[in-house]
Amino acid sequence: MRSIFDLHTMRSLIVHFPYATSFKDKFMEYAYQKRKIIMAEGAKLIGAGCATIALAGAGAGIGIVFGSFINSVARNPSLTKTLFGYAILGFALTEAIALFALMMAFLILFVF
């Protein structure tokens, strides 16, 4: 990544910010734009991190589903086949929430 004090960048300021009256104004405008870009990148990373918090909840949900399945089979082993179907359905629905959260994190990172 180039420094904001790069000579080529300073020369290109005249082209990119023609409305500024002096070189100092052009440089300050460039530095302001650069700071806005860096802050937007930081906000994207924070937003993606917040979106992945749902993955922890999904992991806990899957653990609860299969923990309840094992508890139910221990109480009544004759219903194993029926309960297994319900456990897989609960797993699939919980995992769908995790995939939606992961999709949102990737959208935040790579689209916006």
Residue 65's domain is classified under what CATH number?
1.20.20.10
pLDDT tens string 9-55: 555 655 555 555 676 677 777 777 788 888 888 889 998 998 889 88
**Residue 65 within any structural domain of the chain:** yes
pLDDT tens string 79-97: 999 999 999 999 999 999 9
Q: Cα angle at 1 between 5 and 32, to 5 degrees?
A: 50
pTM exceeding the 0.75 threshold for the entire prediction: no
Exposure b/e, 37-61, CB count within 10 A at least 16 = b: eeeeeeeeeebbeebbebeeebeeb
**Residue 89 within any structural domain of the chain:** yes
Q: How many domains would you assign to the chain?
A: 1
pLDDT of residue 68: 94
**Residue 61 within any structural domain of the chain:** yes
Q: In which domain, by residue range, is 76 found?
A: 46-112
